[in-house]
Amino acid sequence: MPSLTRRAWMIGAGATAIAAAAYETANTTPRPGAGARPARLQFPEGFLWGTATSAYQVEGAAETDGRGLSIWEAFAHQPGRIRDGSTGAAGVDHFHRYKEDVALMKALGVRAYRFSIAWPRVFPDGAGAVNPKGLDFYDRLVDTLLASGIEPYATLYHWDLPQALQARGGWESRDTAEAFGAYAAHVVRRLGDRVRRFFPLNEIRAFIEEGYASGIFAPGLSLPEARLNQARHHAVLAHGLGVQAVRANGRAGTTVGPAENIATALPSVETDDNIRAAGIATRELNAPYLTVMLEGRYTDAWLAGQGADAPRIAAGDLAIISSKVDFVGLNVYTPSQYVLASEAAPGFIALPLQASHPHMASPWLKLGPEALYWAPRHVQHLWGVKDIFITENGTSGADEPAEDGTVYDLDRVMYLRNCLVHLQRATAEGVPVRGYFLWSLLDNFEWADGYARRFGLVHVDFTTLKRTPKLSAAFYRAVIARNAPA
Ligand code: IFM
């Protein structure tokens, strides 16, 4: 084991003991009396274990090498927008510390890293003149990953829209979708000799609903329904144009698919009628996002609900939006609804969640690990998808360092173990989930929560930027080594 790897885990007396125990569990065959693991708890052979971050949340170096401004800088500088008054300008300096971060990934044993490319680094004005240095950092990152045996999975857009495009209407403008297609083509031409897996846009639902409806994310708008629907439509159009750009410019064998935060309905009781109802609800809950991307049509119920506010759809748009994808990536944190079957249209009743329903450190993150089973199962059953990845799952935690400096994040370990048990159930039943990316490798800039919510497996001291693996890192390392959730 390389010395950096070793050092990363030797963190305080308590953590050393825990890390040592995790290594032992992970690296030895069962000892007499320890009991062999029943095969049914295993993930399939070759299951891909990874971790994920995004550019604006980790990179920092916001003014380095000609990077342009993004909507998040503009937004974060408005008083009251970010909970702790911070910005992502410094991130956690992944831009300069990427080698240390790749070594941390290697210590975990991950085989894949999902990161995003900052559009404003590549086209500082969103379109037009290319910044010649804009992709240099990603060249270095990709080479380091490959040299470490970690496969790069690149997201082309993780919410950091160039501010210059926002000034021209942002996602309300069709031009933004077209500009995204051109940017995607440029990136794939440059990195496509080494990067073979691409996600066009991360969580369209999140950046549209929170950026253009609730206004809690950049650009901070609360649009009337018709304008909101047009922004939704342009974002899924960009997805389709991104898929086409990857196809047109990638090498043979390159694959592409969405990374969408599917809204998942769960059957309150697992009976056939409730399961069917949960499928109907999931299709409708995702109507302007995953459903139109995979079906090439907005559902009748959704269109009827929008009435005169429905989006204007140009000829050919739906075919672009539903361009064939190779896989579907799902970001799954929390269920959206628990449902009961109903004879009356639309075929389900959403049950109100009790006030006592537990949540994690982020109040939006309700506990409901069964979503890791139902989200991919619905996607397989509704749309016949044959390759699914969990492109994000993880949680914020209390994350207070103990006296020995270690974060014993039992809440995160508990959350992850539960989620992975349910995901393993899906694979055991033949749902084609091929891999899992844990969000996130590092504590980072959590959007409107600033640095006040931590999602990392690795604790970052935001003053010194020192990285210290948490207990959950030892947990994840053991999961990977055993290829089993518990
Ligand atoms: O940090 C975010 C990420 O950028 C997108 N998915 C959800 C994560 C946790 O909120």
β 458-460/467-469 pair status: antiparallel
Beta carbons of 170 and 161 less than 8 angstroms apart: yes
Question: How many angstroms from the chain centroid is the CA of residue 141?
Answer: 19
Is there a catalytic annotation at residue 392? yes
Which residue in the list 203, 210, 370, 446 is annotated as catalytic? 203
Mutation test residue for ligand 1: of 82, 92, 203, 396, the one with most atoms within 8 Å of CB: 203
Closest ligand 1 atom to residue 54 Cα is: 4
The DSSP bridge partners found for residue 114 are 52, 153
- Tell me the CA end-to-end span of the chain in Å, nearest whole number: 24
The single-letter DSSP state of residue 158 is S
CA dist., res. 27 & res. 454, Å (int): 29
- In DSSP terms, 468 is beta-bridged to 459
Rounded Cα–Cα distance for residues 228 and 224 (Å):
6
Ligand 1 centroid from CA 344, angstroms? 36
Q: Ligand 1: which of 419, 447, 449, 457 to mutate, most ligand atoms within 8 Å of CB? A: 447
3-state helix, strand, coil in the chain (%, to 5): 45, 15, 40
Q: Is 260 a catalytic residue?
A: no
The protein residue with its alpha carbon nearest to ligand 1, atom 2, reads 446
In testing the pocket of ligand 1, which one of 446, 451, 460 has its CB within 8 Å of the most ligand atoms? 446
Sketch out the chain's domains with CATH numbers.
7-19+40-482 (3.20.20.80)
161 alpha carbon – ligand 1 mean position (Å): 16
> Quick check: helix, strand or coil at residue 433?
strand
Return phi, psi of residue 437, to 5°: -115, 115
Give me ligand 1 centre to Cα 446, in Å: 7
Q: Which of 11, 163, 112, 25 is nearest to 327 (CA)?
A: 112
Hey, whose CA ends up nearest to atom 5 of ligand 1? 203
Q: Would you write out the chain's pLDDT as a tens digit for each of its 486 residues?
A: 333 334 444 433 344 444 444 434 444 444 445 556 556 689 999 999 999 999 999 999 999 999 999 999 999 999 999 999 999 999 999 999 999 999 999 999 999 999 999 999 999 999 999 999 999 999 999 999 999 999 999 999 999 999 999 999 999 999 999 999 999 999 999 999 999 999 999 999 999 999 999 999 999 999 999 999 999 999 999 999 999 999 999 999 999 999 999 999 999 999 999 999 999 999 999 999 999 999 999 999 999 999 999 999 999 999 999 999 999 999 999 999 999 999 999 999 999 888 888 999 999 999 999 999 999 999 999 999 999 999 999 999 999 899 998 999 999 999 999 999 999 999 999 999 999 999 999 999 999 999 999 999 999 999 999 999 999 999 999 999 999 998
DSSP 8-state symbol, 366: B
Instruction: Report residue 100 CA to chain centroid gap.
Output: 22
CA distance to 73, 81, 159, 172, 207, per residue, from 85 (Å): 12, 7, 19, 28, 20
DSSP characters for 121-138? HH-TTSSSS--TTTTHHH
Contacts of 375 (CB under 8 A, 6+ apart): 262, 264, 330, 332, 390
